[in-house]
């Protein structure tokens, strides 16, 4: 079944090239040129994946991402940016984007990112519809149900994006083991590119914000002398 993908970019040549390649890959694509049109499109029909340019008229990609996340939308978002500063990339991830690409990029890389994000989203939908038959992974009052891809903290369901869930489950499945950012990119994201390590840091900060009562004294996910991250057993 083809995915429904929204492409929002005010640069006509780039937008048309992305649309052409996505359609060639078998997806149904809607293209818009600004932020307000992107939000209006999602009000009419929620897409399976959003590709948002960072700099757009009306509302930029960050504002669109923030607005959708505020509405409780967990739709995967791939951010496109012509800016190369770490601050711009991190801000997009902190506002809820799942991944980003810096222009110029290859269409092969974009399609690979799209495929990975759609696959995670599909696994999440399938798991939520499946009966919880496998044993949960527990760490203190944190309970992770892999089959249903559901997380409970002290009995309360905590909402995660598909990528956040995969990252948390990876930590919980290897308690006490230290992972570098590069190792996490390889194991969870499925790729590793120089300069993308801060993507891991941002997602871990998002995990901490959702599961740690006091991020300054984390019970679960720890930084180990700046060398990497691990999950410890909760007290």
Domain end call among 109, 125, 141: 125
Distance CA 61, CA 67 (A): 10
- Shared domain for 146 and 119, answered yes or no, is no
pLDDT for position 77: 92
The answer on pLDDT for 133 being more than 60 is no
Stated as kind and residue range, the H or E segment containing 85 is none
- Shared domain for 84 and 161, answered yes or no, is no
The structure tokens listed for 115 are 């495929």
Cβ neighbours of 213 (radius 10 Å): 9
pLDDT for position 87: 60
* Residues whose CB is less than 8 angstroms from the CB of residue 6 and which lie 6 or more positions away in sequence, other chains included: 29, 30, 31, 32, 38, 41, 42, 47, 49, 50, 51
- Shared domain for 109 and 150, answered yes or no, is no
Cβ(76)–Cβ(162) below 8 Å:
yes
Domain end call among 62, 94, 125: 125
pLDDT for position 184: 86
Percent of all residues in the chain with a pLDDT value above 90, rounded to a whole number? 29
- Shared domain for 15 and 115, answered yes or no, is yes
Q: What's the predicted TM-score (pTM) here? A: 0.65
- Shared domain for 114 and 160, answered yes or no, is no
* Structural domain boundaries, residue 9: 4-125
- Shared domain for 119 and 135, answered yes or no, is no
Tokens 């990029």 belong to which residue? 105
Distances in Å between the alpha carbon of 231 and those of 6, 8, 135, 138, 177? 36, 37, 19, 12, 7
- Shared domain for 141 and 183, answered yes or no, is yes
With cut-offs at 50, 70 and 90, classify the pLDDT of residue 101: confident
pLDDT for position 100: 85
CATH code, domain carrying 167: 1.10.10.10
First CA to last CA distance, the chain: 45
Q: How many domains does the chain have?
A: 2
Domain end call among 125, 152, 167: 125
Total residue count of the chain as it appears in this document: 235
- Shared domain for 11 and 110, answered yes or no, is yes
The answer on pLDDT for 103 being more than 80 is yes
Coil vs helix vs strand at 145 = strand
């Amino acid at each position: 079944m083809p995915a429904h993908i929204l492409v929002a970019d005010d640069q006509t040549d780039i937008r048309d090239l992305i649309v052409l390649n996505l359609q060639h890959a078998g997806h149904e694509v809607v293209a818009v040129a600004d932020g307000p049109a992107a939000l209006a499109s999602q009000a009419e029909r929620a897409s399976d994946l959003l590709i948002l340019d960072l700099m757009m008229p009306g509302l930029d990609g960050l504002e669109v991402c923030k607005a959708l996340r505020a509405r409780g939308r967990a739709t995967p978002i791939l951010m496109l940016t012509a800016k190369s500063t770490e601050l711009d990339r991190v801000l997009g991830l902190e506002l809820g984007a799942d991944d980003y690409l810096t222009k110029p990029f290859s269409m092969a890389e974009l399609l690979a990112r799209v495929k990975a994000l759609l696959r995670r989203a599909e696994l999440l939908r399938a798991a939520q519809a499946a009966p919880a038959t496998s044993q949960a992974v527990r760490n203190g009052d944190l309970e992770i149900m892999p089959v249903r891809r559901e997380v409970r903290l002290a009995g309360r369901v905590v909402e995660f994006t598909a990528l956040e869930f995969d990252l948390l489950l990876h930590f919980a499945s290897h308690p006490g083991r230290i992972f570098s950012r590069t190792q996490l990119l390889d194991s969870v994201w499925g790729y590793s590119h120089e300069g993308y390590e801060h993507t891991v840091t941002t997602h871990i900060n998002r995990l901490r914000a959702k599961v740690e009562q006091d991020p300054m004294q984390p019970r679960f996910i720890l930084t180990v002398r700046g060398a990497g991250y691990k999950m410890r057993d909760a007290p």
